[in-house]
Structures are given as structure tokens and as C-alpha cells.
Amino acid sequence: MKIKLIAFLTILLSVPILAQSELPNKPWDKGAFETKSYRNYFAEMGYPQEEIEGKLNEIFQELFYGPDKVYFEDSDSTAYVSDIKNHDVRSEGMSYGMFAAVQFDKKEMFDRLWRWSKHHMQHQDGPMKGYFRWSCKIDGTPNSQGPASDGELFFITSLIFASNLWGNDTGINYLAEAQFILNSSMEKNGENGITPLIHPEHKLITFVPSGYGANYTDPSYHVPAFYEVWARWADDGRADYWQECAHESREFLKRVVNPETGLSPDYSNYDGSLLGNNRIIGDAFRFDSWRVPLNITLDYSWSCVDKEWQQEYGHKIQNFLYDQGVDSFVDQYNVDGSSVSEILGAGGYKALRHSLGLVGSSAAVSIVCSHNKSAEFVNQFWNAKHEPYEDGYFDAYYDGFLQLFSFMHLSGNYKIIFPRD
């Protein structure tokens, strides 16, 4: 008890002292599609705007240009993002890099990443046409020919935003590239085991759009607001369909999240039930699942059409993690909140940690919450450092991107990019 009290006082002294009237506002009732406004939760808590902007830029610079950077320019016109600990380039990371680049108005970076992705990762013809190899060596040699659906999800949205921000006459027709992915996906009919990105019957994103992986989904791939972006600006004649997909994705999230803990599994059936495959990756809340709080926060911030459930979700997952210790909760649980029987390793290390990626995403969901605990999550995240853990493990890539995206949310900088007037 004494140790916990000392830890609490240490945290308390390191954050702004706010009067009751200055505590963060209650969650908003309208999303940015309607208002074009975003919550700056840090500012609501009393952090100076200059410090917020400085810290955001520092996180971006460290991720892309610092000593432990994940971004590498390998020619006059191309660049890649590497998952350093796994020594490869992933469609996930390339699309994350492009999403960050367009959010920060870094056109050269965006174009470099896209050229590398299109040249080395995207299938230009054949059964996989339009899809991206999910993993390549840093020299572009494929580690796999198959896709992973979250990469396509972020590629499409990033390209549409690039079209909205920079237009399509500066060397790359971003909208045409997004449409090529969408049209190629929708042309798939199951031949050779290749399916659309979105399962035709369930209108939910596949884990992978090929083989057995098309029979289930990954809850962390569900970003309903992205389908609303496609409905508005993809200009592919499927606006109503994408709106249906957004609705079905929101309904799926309600089914898959544990009603007591707010935790979700890494993989699940389309009805939200556990796969029950008795494999280490699948039924538990592990690395993939850290992104679910971010995705629900995003949907609330942009669309705000399911706000009552999203607020309940935010309270549940924060209450669970708070009870585990706001400064000590670990990064893997069974979805009922019990301890995992086997720890999933990463980068040659195997340990339960208070991981930065989950510290960030659990803080970001404060945007949807109305209880006082949220401020503690946000303060913990503000003071968290991206550095090696006690056992020497360091994840520049995944922790780094989740730190950046979480900070963007909490500072009001994870934005819809509307077409320029």
C-alpha cells in the first residue's frame, strides 16, 4: 500500500494541477465528419500547447529520423518502413507510414513509401492483382506472396487522403491507385481461394483475403470510419455498400468485446465468438488487440454514431486495466481478464510487460470516457518513455507507431483530410 501511495504521489506531482472546473470536458456528441473539430485532451488537462506540439513533433522525428528510426530511404525515389525486430518490411508498416506522412503533410515521404510498396509489394496482375505481399525483406525480396487485410485498409484510406490533400496531378494519381485496390478486390470471386478484402456475406474485413484466413477476422482490423471515408471520396460507385460495411463493423465490435473487461481477442469468428483453435495467437488479448481501443476512439472521434456503446467500452477497458494497476498492467490477458497460460514472445524475447503501445492506446480511449480515471491514463502516457525494457527488449516499430497514433488522438491531430476547396 505504501509503495502504491508513493507511486501515485510521484505521478500526481508530475502533472498539471487542475481545478475541478478545468478537468477535461465530457465526451462530444458530434463527430469530425460533421464538425471538422477534434478534442485536444492534453490541452483540456492543462498541458501547454507549445509543449504538446513539441512532444508530438519529437515522437514523429524519433520514429522516422532518430537513432532508432524505422524509415529508410533506399534510392532517389523510394523508401521503406522496417519492423526492425523482425528484420522485414510489412504492408502494415508501409501503410502506417503513409498514413502518418499524409497526416503530417509529408508528400515526399508519402510518395517514396508508395513507390516502394507498389514496386515490391503490390501484385499488378494474376489472382492476387491489387493486393500487397504482407512481408518482404528490406531489399524487396518477398517473404510471402499473400496479403494481410489491414495493410490494404490503410493503403486505401491513405491514398484517398493524399488525393484530397495534394490532388492527383503531381506525378501520382492517388485516387486512381486507391480505386485500383478497391476494384481489384471487389472483382475476386473465390477462384484460386482469393476473396474480396471484405467478406461478401458478412460485410466484415477478412483476416487475410485468401484461403482459410478468409473464414475469420481480426478485431483490430475493424476501423468503421475508414469505410465512411471510402463512401464519401473513393468515387467507385459503392458508397452505400461501404456505409453498410461501417455499420456491420460497429455491430461486430459490440459482439467481440468481452462485456465485463472490454478486452477483445486477436482473432475471432465473424459472429464475434472465439476461434477456439488452442493456438497461442487467437483467443487472447495480445499484441494485435492493443489497436482496438485506438480504432474505437477513431470511430467515436470521426463519426460519433455509436457513442453510447463506445463510452461504455472506454469505461470498461479502463476500469479493468486500472484495477490491474494503471502504472503496471501487462500487455497480454485472456479476454475474461484472467492471466494467460502461455506468453507470446516478440523479437526473441518472451515476457509480460507494461508495454508502451498499450499504455498509449488505453490512454487514447479517454477521449470517449467521462470518468476521472481517464486523466491518470493520459498522464501516465504523457510521462512514458520509448526506451528499452528492463530485459533489453525494444520495439521501435510497433510501440513507436502506437505511441505516435495515440498522441495524435489525444492532441487533436488524428484528422479526416477533407478535399481542398
pLDDT at 7 over 50: no
Pairing label, strands 333-334, 135-136: unpaired
pLDDT tens, position by position, 155-164: 999 999 999 9
Catalytic residue among 44, 62, 92, 376: 92
Give the span between the Cα atoms of 24 and 16, in whole angstroms: 12
pLDDT of residue 24: 73
Residue 4 has pLDDT above 50, yes or no: no
Q: What is the tens place of the pLDDT at every residue in 379-391?
A: 999 999 999 999 9
Q: Work out the pLDDT band at 11, boundaries 50, 70, 90.
A: very low
Provide the pLDDT confidence category of residue 278 given band limits of 50, 70 and 90: confident
Distance from C-alpha of 370 to C-alpha of 311, rounded to nearest angstrom: 8
Q: In Å, what is the CA distance from 307 to each residue of 29, 232, 250, 354?
A: 7, 21, 11, 28
Distance CA 101, CA 115 (A): 14
Out of 44, 62, 288, 331, the active site residue is 288
The mean pLDDT value of the chain amounts to 94
Q: Does residue 218 carry a catalytic annotation?
A: no
Degrees, nearest 5: CA angle 90-342-151: 15
At 19 the pLDDT is 39
Residue 251 bears catalytic tag: no
- The arrangement of strands across the sheet holding 135-136 comes to 71-73, 79-83, 88-90, 135-136
- For 362-372, the pLDDT digits (tens) are 999 999 999 99
Confidence of residue 277 (pLDDT cuts 50, 70, 90): confident
Burial 54-81 (b: 16+ CB within 10 A, else e): eebeebbebbbebeebbbeeeeeebbbb
Angle at 397 (CA atoms; ends 250, 399), nearest 5 degrees: 60
| Tens-place pLDDT, residues 80-92 | 999 999 999 999 9
Supply angle C-alpha 138, 139, 143, rounded to 5: 70
pLDDT surpasses 70 at 5: no
Q: In this predicted structure, what is the pLDDT of residue 9?
A: 43
